[in-house]
Structure 1
């Protein structure tokens, strides 16, 4: 990633009370997460292809953490309960659909559990993003989310809105229900944004 662009991004997020760290690989991120999150902590997981690639849920469970990840649910009701419990965990780990150099975090959710947990609830939040998620401005980030992330995630989840075939947003309703733009945080120690020098997720 361009060094000047990264410095500008980090400066803009710092002004918004969001800490940014840069990593060369997902393996480096995984090692740090396992080092920094206490074994006695409860952890919520926001669904993310990036986190699945890291296998972070299983690693945390194997070492003794209590983890609430909807992907572990056997049915819809259990999924709903796991998403609810994740809202009040000590730590919440997730990916993001896009971030911008001007210092915003942009996501679209179907049910809203992920953006709700990022915004408020868990004491600490870690957001892991690949370099492919970086856009120059918040407007560019929104365009990326709607025209790249949303069609791919809709298809992965088994939905078939028009964007899946067209590879672009046409403004339909029912799938991409919640657009979230995080402009900053009151607590300067709450959200940590981990950027990886890899193509990660959608």
Structure 2
């Protein structure tokens, strides 16, 4: 079935119960991530504002979670932070320069498409532009993740990417005459560097 005709699997749309969220949080901590569990999107927005220093470069990835929560606007438009996007002067029509924009930012802020109860993260991308800073390029990484993205295991997480996140993103882009596809997938099982990677789990639904 093509992505154009695929209907999002709505079983992946509802926030999980607290017990499952707590299991994911505990497993993430065991795997080397700093974890915050917050009650609301507003709480997540406030927390991220406190976690990102004003004097360090910060790159916001393309993310409905960041856009809908207001976090992207806070970091890129308020003038309070050293936004890579706000300060970029890119050569005209240089697509690769755009894709490499956040590769070496001190901080990268974004989201993921699935968090497993085993403490693993799954991120899919068409271009892969956010994957390099997520994996190792950025000194600090902050992911904001809605409770509907928690799944039992990696197999379910990959299915969520293909049957829910991708169709939702494709539908969004079709409204502006574009389309989406999966070009690259990053699976993060552990974080080797202490305090490098932070996961903000939100008890509410936000993003795809």
Q: Please report the TM-score for the alignment, with normalisation by the length of structure 2.
A: 0.81
Asked if structure 2 preserves the Cα contact closer than 8 Å seen for 1:73 and 1:82, the reply is: no
Residue of structure 1 aligned with 2:40, choices 14, 18, 25? 25
Shift of 1:82: 4.1
* Alignment match, 1:149: 165
Give the CA deviation at 1:133. 0.8
1:36 is the counterpart of 2:51? yes
- Assess if the C-alpha contact under 8 Å between 1:89 and 1:123 holds in 2: yes
CA drift of 1:76 comes to 7.5
Measured after TM superposition, the shift of residue 11 of structure 1 is 2.0
Q: Is the 8 A contact 2:67 2:73 kept in 1?
A: no
Matches within 5 A, 1:116-131: 116-131=132-147
CA distance in structure 2 between the partners assigned to 1:140 and 1:190 by the alignment: 26
Pair 1:194 & 2:185 matched = no
How far the C-alpha of 1:41 sits from its partner, in A, is 1.1
1:49-128 to 2 correspondences below 5 Å: 49-60=64-75, 61-69=77-85, 77=93, 80-128=96-144
Structure 1 residue 90: deviation in Å?
Answer: 1.1
> What is the number of equivalent residue pairs in this alignment?
188
Give unmatched runs, 5+ long, in structure 1.
162-174
Structure-2 separation of matches of 1:160 and 1:121: 28
RMSD: 2.4
Aligned residues of 2:147 and 2:205 also touching (Cα < 8 A)? yes
